[in-house]
Amino acid sequence: MAAALGGGLHRQLHVAVMVLLWSTAQAQNTGERCQTPNNRPGQCISILSCEPYRDMLNQRPLPPNTVDFLRRAQCGFQGNRPFVCCPSSGTGQVTPSTTTTRRPPAQGSNQGGGSGASVSNVDNHPNWSYLRTDVCGADVNDRIFGGEEANLKEYPWLALLEYQTRNGRQFLCGGSLISNRYVLTAAHCVTGIGNTRLIGVRLGEHDIDTDPDCKTYADGNVCGDPVQDFNIEEVIAHPQYQSESRDKHHDIALLRLDRDAPITDYIVPICLPSGSVANKRYETESLIVAGWGKTENKSASNVKLWVRVPGMTNTACAPVYQRQITLGPNQMCAGGEQGKDSCRGDSGGPLMTVDSVVPRRKGGQWVIAGVVSIGPNICATAGRPGIYTRVGPYMTWILDSLKP
């Protein structure tokens, strides 16, 4: 179930369900300052503590403009429960706007449900135009890279997910920008990581400790652009993902940003698999995983890292984890070499390669093959590969979930 509040007429039932969930949840007041959709000062709190919004939810049926207003009032998440920016007392009446954003209707029944069947050609999907196929996956790096630390312009689609924790704000997961408005990540990163609350997404980052980031090369000092921080307008976890399951099947999710991400030398979406590429299994290919080594359990680096890992067949991988999980056809394995693993990247980050997915563009483009999902207890251990969610089988679900 998507951890989002509202999103259009067809999501009214979902909002009602979320109200029932809130009725059994303990209210938590974070006290953070924010602005309501009407640009009034407020606090980011549980909807249980916000009387004006509770009154809105009592309307039956929920008007579309109310659904949209409550969605835009979101200011973070704790597990599956959205928090809202509640207007401070004395700021006037809260009135939803009359405009609403409608989600395009679903275009197929393929939910990536574990069949492992071939993916039909998604290039003709009506929402395909929301993707930036004119620029996606472009290798904007203008220097030869080597070693484990990425250069400033490498992997410009990498995203950091920021959480409110007991120890302050921290980056605990990663993701990949796939369009101007959406980030692809793992469902386990958005359905609750301990006592944390997902509050934002950062793009254009290289070194978390500096802004802007600068590097010295043989021909001089180069500085990147300032980072871009975004609020999250909507969280969409795959409906078949079960957070309590150890198998982590369907561990994939989308985050809708609160505004369009600019396309720059340091922020570019990665391409999604299309055509025959969507059916590739990458079992004998060399792949790249990149990120900051941020996971829900530990952090490894403040600078962007990358590592090359070999793909592996599910037949070879399944026995390695047979005592812990049952490997599904929509999962894939890569790694298993001593000292190299996806713990060098982020949970929710991309497993990627260069492939030809945009026929009208010369050469190959970077395409996302998988999403970092599960790793061994001791990462980078020989014979213990990382487990990823395959992106190809979920292409119809991804496209069905997009809106302008």
User: What pLDDT digit, counting tens, does each position of 193-225 carry?
Assistant: 778 899 999 999 999 998 888 887 777 788 889
Pairing of strands 158-165, 197-203: antiparallel
Q: From first to last of its 404 residues, what are the pLDDT tens digits of the chain?
A: 333 323 332 333 344 334 333 333 333 435 678 888 777 888 888 777 888 887 777 665 566 667 767 777 877 766 556 778 888 875 545 555 433 233 333 444 345 544 444 565 788 899 999 999 889 998 655 333 334 678 888 899 999 999 998 889 989 899 999 999 999 999 999 997 778 899 999 999 999 998 888 887 777 788 889 999 999 999 999 999 998 899 999 999 999 999 999 999 999 999 999 888 888 888 888 899 888 875 545 556 788 888 888 899 999 999 988 888 999 999 999 986 655 544 545 789 999 998 877 766 656 789 999 999 987 554 555 667 889 999 999 999 999 999 99
Mean pLDDT of the chain: 77
pTM of the model: 0.72
Give the pLDDT score at 62: 62
The SS3 of residue 103 is: coil
* CA dist list (Å): 395 to 42, 104, 165, 265, 273: 38, 15, 33, 26, 8
Instruction: Encode 56-69: b = buried (16+ Cβ within 10 Å), e = exposed.
Output: bbeeeebebebbbb
| Integer Cα distance of 391 and 4 in angstroms | 22
| Integer Cα distance of 56 and 49 in angstroms | 13
Q: Could you tell me if 312 and 334 are in contact, meaning their C-beta atoms sit under 8 angstroms apart?
A: yes
Encoding tokens for residue 385?
Answer: 């590969």
Place of tokens 């503590």: 49
Given the residues 68, 207, 251, 400, the one annotated as active site: 251
Given the residues 347, 355, 373, 400, the one annotated as active site: 347
Q: Is 347 a catalytic residue?
A: yes
Q: Phi, psi at residue 304, to the nearest 5°?
A: -65, 130
Q: With CA atoms as reference, report the closest residue to 77 among 212, 172, 213.
A: 172
| Integer Cα distance of 129 and 366 in angstroms | 18
The SS3 of residue 86 is: strand
